[in-house]
Amino acid sequence: MEHIDIKTLDPASTVVVATGNLHKLEEISAMLAPQLPGMRFVALGQLGDFPEPDENGETFRDNALIKAEAAVAETGFAAIADDSGLMVDALGGEPGVHSARYCGRHGDDAANNEKLLANLADVPDAERTARFVSVIALVSRSGLVTVGQGTCEGVVGRTGRGEYGFGYDPLFLPADTPGKTMAELLPEEKNAISHRFHALQDLVRQLDGWTTA
């Protein structure tokens, strides 16, 4: 990842995306740049190594704000962050905010999927409804908060399929793409229906007159 000297950036025209993932940076900047002309979007990971905040919120909104506000505090720039996960109706909304660590360890996709399938083993197909949820928080330098939220409705399958995506994508069949799991969609197909795409759309609708100050 290209390193950027933070001293070369103008606080009035810079938004830090609280991620080290360049794909996420590209996706967010592509959606927001037309609405915020002249703004430069940079990944937090490009500016240096910063401590990760404790994502101990009870909701996706809480955790998105924790990450965005931490990035503002660490850099002095406006910042944007997202938090997302899978909510399964038959499990009372689990795994929810614990999606990335459902198995008890952070980021073990295979173990998370295995636990999800075990917990849904006796649930009929018609009752395996679920949705991916994304909340994106944009925080100005003065602390002004703007939040967008989006969902992608679907069902949880019984076996994993597909080579794309990550997390629960191999098990999730979006309602918008019948017969295909999220992991069977090409990146451009996924981006056109994803929960993050809809959250960004929601955020964009609120940005008239927004400034980094």
Q: Which domain holds residue 23?
A: 6-204
**1 within some domain:** no
**61 within some domain:** yes
**211 within some domain:** no
Tally of structural domains, the chain: 1
Instruction: Find all residues with CB under 8 Å of 24, minimum gap 6, and list them.
Output: 17, 43, 82
**71 within some domain:** yes
Cα angle 20-22-24, degrees, rounded to a multiple of 5:
90
Q: Which of 159, 161, 201 is nearest to 177 (CA)?
A: 161
* CATH at 71: 3.90.950.10
Q: Report pLDDT for 142.
A: 96
CB 199 within 8 A of CB 191: no
- Strand order from edge to edge, sheet including 129-139: 40-43, 14-17, 78-88, 129-139, 145-156, 172-174
Q: Report pLDDT for 26.
A: 87
Catalytic residue among 10, 83, 169, 208: 83
**212 within some domain:** no
**210 within some domain:** no
Q: Report pLDDT for 20.
A: 82
Which residues does the chain have with pLDDT short of 50?
none
Tell me whether residue 83 is one of the annotated catalytic residues: yes
Alpha-carbon distance 211 to 42, whole Å? 16
Q: Report pLDDT for 131.
A: 98
Q: Report pLDDT for 188.
A: 87
